[in-house]
Structure 1
Amino acid sequence: MNPFVENSFKSRLASRRLQVGLWSSLCSNIVAEILAHSGFDWILLDTEHSPNELPGLLSQLQAMKSGHACPIVRVASNDPVLIKRVLDIGFTSILVPFIESEGEAEKAVKACLYPPAGIRGVTGSGRASQYGRHTKYLYEANDSICVILQIESLVGLNELDRIAKMDGVHGVFVGPSDLAASMGHIGNPSHVDVQKTIADAGKRLSELGIPAGILSSSEESAKRYTQWGYSFVAVGSDIGLVANGASKLVALFADE
């Protein structure tokens, strides 16, 4: 029996079907399991701005296995070693942050793929290959990997066409917060100039035929982004759900 599982997130991404996701930074296998069964199409486990380390990522990935949501991981940087390690434990969809050039895009893609297409290091006994039991893994892995590059600055957006059209790139994710900071509006991604830039990026990616993703801070902005051509949208975060839910619950009893 072939244990190889198709990357359904990658397949849906290629079809440009809307996929609703959630950002996860709480570093908890229990939270990951709850979220995976909540109806989201994908859950991103963040390692750039959260204290997620490899053993914790593995336990979260295991917890999500029986859920509906596809796991994605954002590595901390465009580092072939970091990328190799998350692939070896079984992630097949990778978000690489802060891409600003064609060369950086090529570096990220090559880190995700085995030779001759890339430079990913080889192990025959990792979890991704069912600890060596899936003997064809090395030959089939490249087809399952989904590479998403994150553009978070005006420098990156100026190179958008070259980055997005790099062979092996399956989607481009726009980061509103860092983009706002690069435009002189730190802490204010809702600024009209930032939103115009996000709308333009969505249009450009649609014209290129490249799926566009983004993180939204509200239901209103999420719906606006889908109208601008973004097809995989994080509609919130686990931290936001907990913090806002707790604050609202306390507020109900504030005058008691």
Structure 2
Amino acid sequence: MPIRLDPAPTFADRLRSADRALVGMWSCAGSPLVAEICAGSGLDIVLIDGEHSPVNLESILAQLQAVAPYPAVPVVRAPFGEPVVLKQLLDLGAQNILVPMVDSVSHAEAMVRAVRYPPHGVRGVGSALARSSRWSRIPDYLARADDLVSLTVQIETADAVGEAAAIAAVDGVDALLVGPADLAASLGLLGQQNHPDVVAAVEGVIAAGRAAGTPVGVNAFDPATADRYVAAGAAYVLVGADVTLLARASEALADRFIGAATDSAPPASY
């Protein structure tokens, strides 16, 4: 007899049950070994990046498999919001999807439809062939699928900030994530994630999400900035990435044993 399986709680479930802000990091190297190391760190979230990383479907699958035994919840960022791409990620078994660059209510609504089966969406039905249902070993997968998936959308532009309250209120959007790097660029402040105008915009999105009852997270690699956003009501923060941790730690070794570099300090976030 085949093993009958029950899927893990979704990111939305974890956010609802949390009694503190969740803390996570990015897995950007594309390595399942590195993703597994991150998953065993004690952090709450491992965010597997498909937008700014050298990954494909196979490497995302391998990372999901490597992270699966650990308590950390895996979230997968799609390269862009397109129904076919999201269908492939869902069929790989990614329960928790992050869509970048969502600027409007209509875009958010389209992403909700993309991650849901008919009649509530347009997700293609191939679950018997896919890891998402564990090849039909999750009982009643098709009937339950919409409840086994969470959708987070990224707020990364000035237009998106203006629409944040309405986007947060879209049925099926489980969380928002603010990307201060792209937001700063959109505001004409490229590379200035801690500029007062950027901080004010981020805090405005957090407030809009809280008013709508939708959790909001923020990228904040600088600890003081992360603390500020948690104090402002962020439900989760992403405080580092595998590649930046390796870059900074290897530079520290070079500084210690060879000599301090004269270049300016690297940015506190990406």
Q: Same fold (TM over 0.5)?
A: yes
Q: 2:267 is matched with which residue? A: none
Amino acid across the alignment from 2:122: I
Q: Is residue 4–residue 139 contact of structure 2 (8 Å, CA) maintained in 1? A: no
Matched position secondary structure for 1:43: strand
Q: Is residue 29–residue 60 contact of structure 1 (8 Å, CA) maintained in 2? A: yes
Kindly report which structure 2 residues correspond to 1:162-173, keeping only aligned pairs within 5 A, or say none: 162-173=166-177
Q: Do the aligned partners of residues 198 and 137 (structure 1) sit closer, same or farther apart at CA in structure 2, a change above 3 Å counting?
A: same
Q: Is residue 87–residue 123 contact of structure 2 (8 Å, CA) maintained in 1? A: yes
Task: Tell me, yes or no, if structure 1 residue 91 matches structure 2 residue 94.
Answer: yes
Deviation at 1:78, TM superposition (A): 0.8
Q: Do the aligned partners of residues 112 and 211 (structure 1) sit closer, same or farther apart at CA in structure 2, a change above 3 Å counting?
A: same
Q: Is residue 14–residue 170 contact of structure 1 (8 Å, CA) maintained in 2? A: no
Root mean square deviation, CA, Å: 1.5
Deviation at 1:112, TM superposition (A): 0.5
Deviation at 1:12, TM superposition (A): 2.2
Q: Do the aligned partners of residues 16 and 161 (structure 1) sit closer, same or farther apart at CA in structure 2, a change above 3 Å counting?
A: farther
Structure 2 residue runs of 5 or longer lacking an equivalent are: 261-270
Q: 1:7 is matched with which residue? A: 9
Question: Once the two structures are superposed, what CA deviation does each residue of 1:31-52 show, in whole Å capped at 9, x if it has no partner?
Answer: 0111111111110011111111
Kindly report which structure 2 residues correspond to 1:104-115, keeping only aligned pairs within 5 A, or say none: 104-115=107-118
Kindly report which structure 2 residues correspond to 1:7-86, keeping only aligned pairs within 5 A, or say none: 7-15=9-17, 17=19, 18-86=21-89
Q: Is residue 181–residue 193 contact of structure 2 (8 Å, CA) maintained in 1? A: yes
Question: Once the two structures are superposed, what CA deviation does each residue of 1:147-171 show, in whole Å capped at 9, x if it has no partner?
Answer: 1010101101111122111111110
Q: What is the alpha-carbon distance in structure 1 between the residues aligned to residue 96 and residue 204 of structure 2?
A: 26
Aligned residue among 136, 139, 145 for 1:141: 145
| Range with bigger deviation, 8-17 or 207-216 | 8-17
Question: Once the two structures are superposed, what CA deviation does each residue of 1:90-115 show, in whole Å capped at 9, x if it has no partner?
Answer: 11000011011111001101101111
Matched position secondary structure for 2:182: helix
Aligned sequence identity (%): 39
Amino acid across the alignment from 1:197: A
Q: Which stretches of structure 1, 4 residues or longer, exceed 6 Å deviation after superposition? A: none
Q: What is the alpha-carbon distance in structure 1 between the residues aligned to residue 44 and residue 117 of structure 2?
A: 27
Q: What is the alpha-carbon distance in structure 2 between the residues aligned to residue 134 and residue 190 of structure 1?
A: 45
Amino acid across the alignment from 2:78: V
Task: Tell me, yes or no, if structure 1 residue 103 matches structure 2 residue 129.
Answer: no
Question: Once the two structures are superposed, what CA deviation does each residue of 1:109-141 show, in whole Å capped at 9, x if it has no partner?
Answer: 110111111111001220111123335111111
Q: Is residue 148–residue 173 contact of structure 1 (8 Å, CA) maintained in 2? A: yes
Structure 1 residue runs of 5 or longer lacking an equivalent are: none
Task: Tell me, yes or no, if structure 1 residue 182 matches structure 2 residue 198.
Answer: no
Q: What is the alpha-carbon distance in structure 1 between the residues aligned to residue 258 and residue 195 of structure 2?
A: 33
Matched position secondary structure for 1:236: strand
Q: What is the alpha-carbon distance in structure 2 between the residues aligned to residue 158 and residue 214 of structure 1?
A: 17
Q: What is the alpha-carbon distance in structure 1 between the residues aligned to residue 116 and residue 6 of structure 2?
A: 16
Q: Is residue 16–residue 211 contact of structure 1 (8 Å, CA) maintained in 2? A: no
Amino acid across the alignment from 1:154: A
Aligned residue among 233, 236, 239 for 2:237: 233
Give aligned pairs, total: 256
Q: 1:161 is matched with which residue? A: 165
